[in-house]
Structure 1
Amino acid sequence: MIKRASIVSASVALGCIASVAPVLTSIYIAEEDAERRERDDLREFATKAVMRAELVSYQAVAALADMAATPGPPCSPAHLAQLAHVIFNYRYVQDAGAYGGGQYLCSPLLGDVREQHLTMSEPDRRSNDGYLIWYRHKNPLSDARQDIQVGRNGNYVSIDAQSYVDLIDPARRPIAVFSTETNALLALSMDADAADMLHAWKQAANVSSDQWHYATAHSATLPLSVVVKSPRNSLLGNWTGLLGMWLSIGVVVGGLFGWLSFRKISQQLSFPSTLEWAIARKRIDVCFQPIVTLADRECVGAEALVRWKLNGLDISPDIFVAVAEQNGLIQPLTDLVLDKTIDELSTFLRSRPSFYVSINVSSEDLQTSRFLDVLTARLEGTGIRPAQIRIELTERIFINADTTRQTIAAFRKAGHPVYIDDFGTGYSSLSYLQTFTIDVLKIDKSFIDTIAQDAASSIVAPHIIKMAHELGVEILAEGVERDAQVDYLVERGVQYGQGWLFAKAMRSKELIAWLGEPRTQLEPMKQCDDS
C-alpha cells in the first residue's frame, strides 16, 4: 500500500514537474523576447521622434527663408500681411516678425510695437551661419508661455516647444528633446520628468531601472538629440504565484494547456502556409491601375497591385502582404508580381516603348542586389526596356537609409526609375530625402483627399509639392477622385495622377482593351476585385 502510494506520489510529482517546467521555461523565453521587442520598438520610436524634431526645425528655417524674400519696408501693412501668410503656411510656426536693436519691431500677432520698446533677451546660441536661438523665450503676449524662438537677419519665428514632442502615440511614452551643443532641454512631453530624462540623456540611455526602458536617437544633420522611455512589462514579476498555481493545477491542466496551445499555433500557422501554397502555385493575381498625365489625362503607365481570392473571399492586401513580410514570403511574392507582369504584358510593352509598369519592392529587397539581379535576368531577351519597369519604395527605407542608398542607386544605374510611395504618411526627414536620388515622389491619397478643405492636414500636400519641385523630382498624386483635385494639382505643377476618377485597378486584358478605346470614350472599367 505504501509502495503504491509512493509510486502514485512520484508520478504526480513528476507529472507536475513535467507540466510546470515547460510552462515556466516558455514564460522566461517570452519575457526575454518581449523585452527585446520593447527595446526595438522604443528605439524605432526614438528615431521617429528625432524625425519630428528635425521637421519642426526645418520649417523654422524655411519660414525664415521665405521672410527674407518678403518685399517692402519692415512693418508696413504689406509686410505684415506677408508675415501672416508665412504663419499660415507653416503649421509649426506660431508667430513671425521683425526685430532690431535688441527689440521687437512688429509681427501679425504683436502688431507694430516699435514705440513700445519690447526688449529681447540675449540668445542662448549663435550659430556659425548667422542663426540666433532662444530655447525658453518668454512670449510677449503671455506671462506664462515660453517658446523656442529662431532669428536671422532681423527676422524671427516663434515655435511652441510642444511641437517637437507632439507625436501621435497611444502609449503616451515620455519624450525629451535636447540641444547637443549647449546641453539645453528644448522640449518635454507632458508626462515626462525633466530631471529623469536629463539623467537618461547624459547616460546615453544606459540607465538601470526595473520599471522603465530608455532609448536615445541623434539627428544626423542638426544638433538635436531625443530621449524616450517606456514602462517595462514583466511576465515574471509574480513568479512564486505562477509556480504555486501551476503546481496546484498539475499535469491534467498542463496537458490541456499544451493541447490548446498546439491548436492555437496550428491555426496561426495555417494562414501563412496557405499563402505560401498560393504563391508557389501562382494563385495570387496581379492587377494594374493606370497612371495618367494630369494635364491631358493620357495614360502613360500603370502600377502593379497584388490581389488574392481565397475560398471565394477577397483577402485584403494589407493583411496578406503583412503576413508575407513576417514569414519570409515577401521576396517570392515580389518575384511572382514581376513574372506575371512580364508574362501578361510583354507583347504590349514591346509595342508601346513609352508605357511602363511600376512594381512595389519591399525594404528586405533593398538590403542586397537580389531583386535587381532577378529583374535583369527576367528582362533579358524580352525586348522590354529597363525604363518600362519602375521601382516603388515606401518611406520606411529612410529608417535604414545607409544600407539602402547603394541599392537604389544600382536600380537607377540599370535604367529603372525609382519612386517613393505614400510619401508623407510616415516620419520622413527632409535631410534623409535630400541624400537620396529618386525620380518620382508619390503623394498619399489621405493628403489628396484634403485638398481645398479646411483640415489641419490640408497644408501637407502643398508642402510636399514644393519640396519635390525644390529637389527636382516629378510628382504623382494617388487617390484622385474629383476634377477639382486635378485642377488644383495641375495649377501647382503636379505631373501625374492615379485614382478612380481615371480608372480602377483592372486585369491585364482589360487594361489593354481600355487603352485601345478612343480617348473621349475612356471610362473607369470594372474594378479588378469585382466579380
Structure 2
Amino acid sequence: MIKRMSLISAYIALGCAATVLPVLISIYIANEDVARREQRDLSLYAEKAMMRTELVTYQGFAAIADLQAEHAEPCSPEYLKRAAHVIFNYRYVRDAGAYGDGRYLCSPLLGEVRTQDVELPPPRWRSNDGYLVWFQQKNPLSDLREDIQIGRNGEYVSIDPQSYVDVMDPAGRAIATINTELNSIVALSSGADPDEMLHAWKQAGRVDSDEWNYAVARSETRALGVVVKGRRTSLFRDWPGLLATWLSFGVAMGAAFGWFAFKRISRQVSFQASLEWAISHKTIDVVYQPIVNLATSECVGVEALARWNLNGRDISPNIFIALAEQHGLIQSLTDLVFDQALQDLAELLRSRPSFYVSVNVSGEDLRTPRFLNLINARLAGTGLRPAQIRIEATERSFLNADVTRQTIAAFRSAGHPVYIDDFGTGYSSLAYLQTFMIDVLKIDKSFVDTIAQDAASSIVAPHIIEMAHELGAEIVAEGIERSEQVEYLVRRGVQYGQGWLFAKAMRREELLAWLEARRASHAPAQPAIQ
C-alpha cells in the first residue's frame, strides 16, 4: 500500500513537474528577452540624448561665432545690439556678451557692468580648441539660476543646462550629461540623483541593480557623454500570480494562440507568395518623383520608387519592402525597379545628358559588386552616362563599414554618385560619416517638416546641413510641401529638393507630360494637386 502511494505520489510529482517546468522555463526565457530588449531600447535612447547634447553644444559654438562675426567694439551699442540679436536667434542661449580679466564686461541682460567689477570665476574646463566652459555658473542677477557658460576670445554665451537633457520621452527616463575629461556632471534631468548617475557613468552603465537599467553614449568629437537610466521589468517579481494564471488559462490560451499563429502564418505565407509572384511577373509598378534645383526650379532628375497594388489595395512600401528584405526578395525587387526605369527613361536620359534617375538599393547590394555588375551590363551600348544612374542607400545600410566601404567606392569609381537616403534617422555622427566617400545627403522628411516651426527637433535640420557641408556633399531635402521651406533651405545652401510642393510621384507618361509642360511654359514648379 505504501509502495503504491509512493508510486502515485511520484506520478503526481512528475505530472506537476511536466506542467510547471515548461511554464517556468518560458517565464525565464521571456524575462531574459525583456531584459535584452529594454537594454537595447535604453542604448538607443542614450544615442538620441547624445545627439541632443551635441546639437545644444554646437548651437553655443555657433552663437559665439555669430557674436564675433561683426567685429564691433565690445560693449558698444552696436555690440550689445548684435548680442541681443544672437540671443533671439539661438533658442537655447539665455545671454551673450563680453568678459575679460576675470570680470563680466557687458551683455544685453547685465547691461554695461565694466565699472561694477562683477566677478567671473576661472573656468572649470578648457577644450583643446580654445573654448572655456563654466559649469553651474551662478547668474549675477540671481542667487538661484545656474547656467552653463561657454566662452572664447572674450565673448561668452549662457545656456540653460536643461537644454542638454530636454529629450522628449513619455517614460520620463533620467539623463545626465557628463564631461568625460573631468568625469563630472554637466547637466541633470529633474529628479535624477547626481551621485547615482555619475557612478553609473564610471561603471560604463554596468551597474548591478534589480530595479534599474543604465546605458551610456560618448561623443566622437567632443569631451561629452551621457548616461541614461530606465526602470527594469522583471517577470519573476510576481511569479506565484503568473504561475497561477498560466496554469488556469494555459489550455485556452494555447488553443487561441495556436489558431492565431495558424492564421497569421497562413496570411504571411500567402502575402510573401503574392509578393514573390508580383516580382517574378513584373506587376510591381515603378513611379518617378522629380528632384528640383531649389535655386532655379529646374527638374534635374527623378527618384525611381516601387509601388504594389494587391487585389485593388495599395500596399505601403514600408510593408512590402521590409517583407522583401526578410525573405530574400529584395535584390530581385531592386533589379525590377532598375530595369523598368531604364526601359521607361532611356530615351529621356539620352536626350538630356545631365538628367538622371536614382535607384534605391538595400544593404545586401552594398556587400557585393552584384548590382554594380548588373548596371554595367545593362548600360552597355545604350549611350547613357554612368552619372545618370545614381545609387541611394539608407543610413542603416552603412553601419557595416568594413563590408560596404569597398562596394561604395566601386560604385563611385564606376561613375555612379552615391546618396545617403533618409539621413538623420540613424544618429550618425560627422566623424563616422567621414570614413565614407559619398556624394549627396538626403534630409529625411520628418526633419524638413519642422523647418520654420517651434519644435524641439527643428534644430536637427540645420545640424545635418552643416554636416553635409563639412563632408563636401550636396544635399537633397525630402518632403518639401511649403514655399517657406524652400526659402529657408536655399538660405542654408541646400541645392536640391523633392516633395509635393513640386510634384507627387508619377508614372512615365505623367512624368513626360509634366516635364514638357514645364519646358514649354518655363514656369517654376507649382504645388501638386492633392
TM-score clears 0.5 = yes
- Structure 1 unaligned runs (5+)? none
CA distance in 1, matches of 2:373, 2:519: 38
Superposition pairs of residues 418-437 of structure 1, within 5 angstroms? 418-424=418-424, 427-437=427-437
Aligned: 1:65 with 2:65 = yes
Distance 2:11 2:347 in 1: 73
Counting aligned pairs with the same residue, the percent is: 66
Equivalent-residue separation in structure 2 for 1:482 and 1:520 (angstroms): 24
For 1:5-27, what per-residue CA distance to the aligned partner results, in whole angstroms no more than 9, with x for missing partners? 99999999988766655554444
Q: Residues 394 and 414 from structure 1, CA distance in 2 versus in 1: closer, same or farther, beyond 3 angstroms?
A: same
The Cα shift of 1:469 comes to: 4.4
1:127-166 map, 5 Å: 127-166=127-166
Aligned residue for 2:265? 266
CA distance in 1, matches of 2:426, 2:89: 20
Residue equivalent to 1:172: 172
CA distance in 2, matches of 1:139, 1:178: 21
Q: Once the 2 structures are TM-superposed, how far is the Cα of residue 410 of structure 1 from its aligned partner?
A: 3.6
Give the structure 2 partner of residue 181 of structure 1: 181
Change (3 A) 1:70 1:516: closer
Aligned residue for 2:388?
388
Secondary structure at 1:209 match in 2: coil
Q: Structure 1 residue 355 and structure 2 residue 340: aligned?
A: no
Which residue number corresponds to residue 346 of structure 2? 346
Classify 1:489/1:310 alpha carbon distance in 2 versus 1 (closer, same or farther; 3 Å).
Answer: same
Kept in 2: contact 1:16–1:247 (CA 8 A): no
SS at match of 1:181: coil
SS in 1 for 2:71: coil
User: Any conservation in 2 of the 1:475–1:495 contact (CA below 8 Å)?
Assistant: yes
Q: TM-score, normalised by structure 1?
A: 0.85
Cα shift readout 1:273-306 (whole Å, capped 9, x = no counterpart): 5444444443332210111223332222001122
- One-letter code of the match for 1:172? G
SS at match of 1:217: strand
Tell me, yes or no, if the aligned pair for 1:401 and 1:432 is still in contact at 8 Å.
no
Secondary structure of the structure 1 residue equivalent to 2:340: helix
**Could you say which residue in structure 2 is the equivalent of 1:110?**
110
> What is the match of residue 409 of structure 2?
409
Q: Find the aligned partners of 1:168 and 1:407 in 2 and give their Cα distance.
A: 37
Secondary structure class of the residue paired with 2:29 = helix
| Distance in 1 separating the partners of 2:375 and 2:387 | 12
Map 1:207-226 to 2 at 5 A: 207-226=207-226
CA 1:245–1:365: 2 relative to 1, 3 Å: same
Q: What does the per-residue CA deviation read over 1:134-190, in whole Å, with 9 as the maximum and x for residues that have no partner? A: 122112232222222111110111122222222222222222121111111111122
Per the TM alignment, residue 317 of structure 1 is displaced from its structure 2 partner at its CA by: 2.3
Q: Measure the CA separation in 1 of the matches of 2:193 and 2:309.
A: 51
Deviations 1:195-241 (A, max 9, x none): 22111111122211112222222222211222122222223433333
2:46 aligns with 46
Which residue of 1 is the match for residue 298 of structure 2?
298
Is 2:458 aligned against 1:497? no
Query: CA separation in 1, counterparts of 2:498 and 2:364?
Result: 26
Residues 452-531 of structure 1 aligned to structure 2 (within 5 Å): 461=461, 464-465=464-465, 468-469=468-469, 471-483=471-483, 485-487=485-487, 489-490=489-490, 493-517=493-517, 519-521=519-521
Write the distance in 2 (CA, Å) between the matches of 1:347 and 1:520: 19
Is contact 2:284–2:306 with CA below 8 Å preserved after alignment?
A: yes
Report the secondary structure of 2:120's partner residue.
coil
- Please, which moves more after superposition, 238-247 or 191-200? 238-247
State the match for 2:255 in structure 1: 256
Q: Distance in 2 between matches of 1:364 and 1:114?
A: 64
Matched to 1:87, the amino acid is: I
The offset of 1:107, in angstroms, is 1.6
One-letter identity of the residue aligned with 1:229 = K
In the alignment, structure 1 residue 91 sits paired with structure 2 residue 91: yes
Q: Classify the secondary structure of the residue corresponding to 1:51.
A: helix
Code of the residue aligned with 2:73 in structure 1: it is P
Q: Post-superposition shift, 1:524?
A: 7.2
For the residues of structure 2 that align with 1:275 and 1:11, how far apart are their CA atoms? Answer: 52
Number of residue pairs matched? 523
Q: CA separation in 2, counterparts of 1:85 and 1:288?
A: 43
Q: Distance in 1 between matches of 2:141 and 2:402?
A: 45
The separation in 2 between residues aligned to 1:401 and 1:159, in whole angstroms, is 36
1:454/1:14 CA distance change after superposition, 3 Å: closer
Instruction: Give 3-state SS (helix, strand or coil) of 2:319's partner.
Output: helix
Q: 1:311 to 1:206 in 2, by over 3 A?
A: same
* Cα 1:96–1:277 shift into 2, 3 Å: farther
Does the aligned pair in 1 maintain the 2:502–2:527 contact within 8 Å?
no
Instruction: Give yes or no for contact 1:398–1:432 (8 Å, CA) kept in 2.
Output: no
Given the two structures, how large is their TM-score scaled by the length of structure 2? 0.85
For 2:123, the equivalent position in structure 1 comes to: 123
CA contact (8 A) 2:173 2:228 kept: yes
| Contact 2:148 2:160 (8 Å CA) reproduced | yes
Quick one: distance in 1 between partners of 2:80 and 2:407?
Answer: 48
Instruction: Give, in whole Å, the separation in 2 of the partners of 1:180 and 1:203.
Output: 13
Give the C-alpha shift of residue 502 in structure 1. Answer: 2.5
1:431-463, Cα deviation, whole Å (9 max, x unpaired): 444554332333444554555566666666556
CA RMSD of aligned residues (A): 3.6
In the TM superposition, residue 102 of structure 1 has moved relative to its aligned partner by 0.5
Whether the 8 Å CA contact 2:55–2:459 is kept in 1: the answer is: no
The corresponding residue for 2:100 is 100
2-structure distance, mates of 1:367, 1:106:
58
Partner of 2:197 in structure 1? 197
Q: Which residue in 1 is equivalent to 2:238?
A: 238
The SS at the match of 1:296 is coil
Contact 1:398/1:428 (8 A) holds in 2: no
Q: Are the aligned partners of 1:54 and 1:429 in contact in 2 as well (CA < 8 Å)?
A: no
Cα distance in 1, alignment partners of residues 7 and 252 from structure 2: 21
Cα deviation, residue 46, structure 1: 1.9
Q: Name the SS for the 1:119 alignment partner.
A: coil
Judged with a 3 Å threshold, the aligned counterparts in structure 2 of structure 1 residues 338 and 192 are, in CA distance, closer, same or farther, namely farther
Q: Distance in 2 between matches of 1:349 and 1:388?
A: 7
Higher relative CO (Cα under 8 Å, sequence separation at least 6) belongs to 1
Q: Say if 1:447 and 1:212 are closer, same or farther in 2 by CA, change over 3 A.
A: closer
Q: Which shifted more, 88-97 or 475-484?
A: 475-484
Are the counterparts in 2 of residues 419 and 440 from structure 1 also a CA contact under 8 Å? Answer: yes
* Residues 501 and 528, structure 2, Cα contact 8 Å, conserved in 1: no
Instruction: Specify the SS of the correspondent of 1:67.
Output: helix
Q: Deviations over 1:495-516 (max 9, x none)?
A: 3232223322111233234334
The whole-number CA distance in structure 2 between the counterparts of 1:266 and 1:39 is 29
Structure 1 SS opposite 2:129:
coil
Q: Say whether the 8 Å CA contact 1:52–1:427 is kept in structure 2.
A: no
Paired residues of 2:353 and 2:385 also in contact (CA < 8 A): yes
Aligned-partner Cα distance in 1 for 2:401–2:66? 29
